[in-house]
Chain A
Amino acid sequence: MVLRHIPIREGILGAAILVLLGLVSIRYSGFIAPANLANVFNDTAPLIILALGQMVVILTRCIDLSVAANLALTGMVVAMLNVAMPGLPIPVILAIAILLGAMMGAINGLLVWKLAIPPIVVTLGTMTVFRGIIFLISEGKWINAHEMSTAFTGFSRTAFLGLPVLSWIAIATVIVFGVMMSRTALGRSVFAVGGNPHAAVYTGIDVGKTQFLAFVLSGALAGLTGYLWVARYAVAYVDIARGFELEVVAACVIGGISIAGGIGSVGGAVLGALFLGVVKNALPVVNISPFWQLAISGSAILIAVAFNARAGRSKGRIILKSAEGSV
């Protein structure tokens, strides 16, 4: 009964992660020690958070390539704020980061919704614009650890019930998104818009508005991650997280989110991110070159897509009476 509710795709991916952990532990048993796994999870937390936002966007048949630039810009802004006003409380910083990120997401969403520009073009454009703005406001300078307040950099590392706050934020995001996707009208609209936009229109769902909201969500999470990222690494500069958007998209694709929209799950996105996180952390431990890591991540994407394409292939119409019920 319980097994019935674990979808096959997520099951296979989960098993793949376990196999990977098993293989690594043969070479280095310390890797699967709880403390190390917690570290791996914490290291993957930003990817998990961003993958959840990206998942919503991809489900509505869009894509958000600007998440990493959004993250970097928000990170730079909150870091500069911290330098200028060291006394600003962390909850205010968090609110500013989320709002700023959501605003950048809203720009993407409005361009897609109101001007009907293809999302890949919109976010490719805003990605470059956001990076440019970072350079303009920072004049290309770095903000280093010693310029930031200890409260600012310490927040994401503060341990709470044995895990850093960063991990807890990722867990909270997973729960919130899990509930949102399965139990709210917005979550349902996201699947409807991606699954069959024409039918969604006739159901009274505004396709453009749903896509807009998806971008806002993705932007808000990018903003949130922006602060967490800068705090964790205690440095802000133009190029932080450059190229990270592709890793985010990769996590979604490996997690079985269909690039064509409408198919995917929170569990899939999280597992996809964890898979990449494990690969990234495990390979150096067993002395495999980081270049192999790229090749393995790439292969995982191709295998996942090929697998989903096979599973998603329509089984054809049931015309024979005798075949009815057997599928």
Chain B
Amino acid sequence: MINTKREGEIRIPSGCAISGIINKDGTRIDGGRVAQSIAVMHDRSNGLGGGFAGYGIYPEYKDFYALHIFYNGQTVKEECEKFLEEHFEIINLSKIPIKRIPEITDVPLIWRYFVAPLPTKLADSQLDENEYVLRCTFSINTRIGGAYVFSSGKNMGVFKAVGFPEDVARFYKLDEYSGYSWVAHGRYPTNTPGWWGGAHPFSILDCSVVHNGEISSYDANRRFIEMYGYKCTLQTDTEVISYIFDYLLRRKKLTLTEASEVIAAPFWEKIDAMPEEDKRRLTYLRTTYPSLLITGPFSIIVGFDGGLMALNDRLKLRSMVIGEKNKTVYIASEECAIREIEPSLDKVWSPSGGEPVIVRLEEQK
């Protein structure tokens, strides 16, 4: 590790496996199930990164931001906690429970804080609550060396490490958490990052992204999004995709479908032949956010409060399958990962390139 650059100092392309489950009726399932699914695609990852995000896992703290933080050591933890105390009311803090296993090594300190912005600080900042939390996490990640916030949403949490995803699930004891939706990721980077922060999912507030592919538009996307206060510290595709979603959904107030139409825009040829209304909307979106078009292969699952979205690049250069059984929707890189946990599906299909599949909790519809 000594001779290689850490993630963020160098751009590392990677291939991957992704998997996601959501119960539309809100029934909670434990994280072991999605781990079982992603484990089938073992060969799509190479042990250099695995991770999960679960939604609805902290119902008792659902009104507070759950910050998951990696620390290199005790000193930086103290420095970071001082920062947290200055900016937040800390409702609860604890070590995230882990199980020591031989497959997962070089374990950092992993802590969890349930917080609310300090009302006076929030008022002074003239920001809304989400933006305030976002800026604080950017501050920690860019200014406090050795501290890294890897999860910052409400009633959701990210769990990730260097290792195969099935080992990461055991390490974090994910079968002890239950949520209405889960996403999982197994990573196949072309270089050894050896850093936990570089594993996926990548999340920003309650929006988390797992991604398979290598986007060719990366630097165009990065240089655009960095104009608006985002800092791509990891130089990964997933990070920039997460910021793009945050920018389009939260800042620009676009719908998920509209955001998909920006990042996986239909070809002009198709737009030109569309009815006037669609043509106008798509022309507006493509010409307003040309630098947020994502090219190159990708399949992604976006987790958000109350739902999941699956999306492929517009040429469908990566595999992605959707399966349905009663009120449960499964998304995975390969069908086998779905069949592993639900052999008899009502329906199974592959969405076309650029076609977003959005699944929401029924009560929120």
Are both chains from one complex?
Answer: no
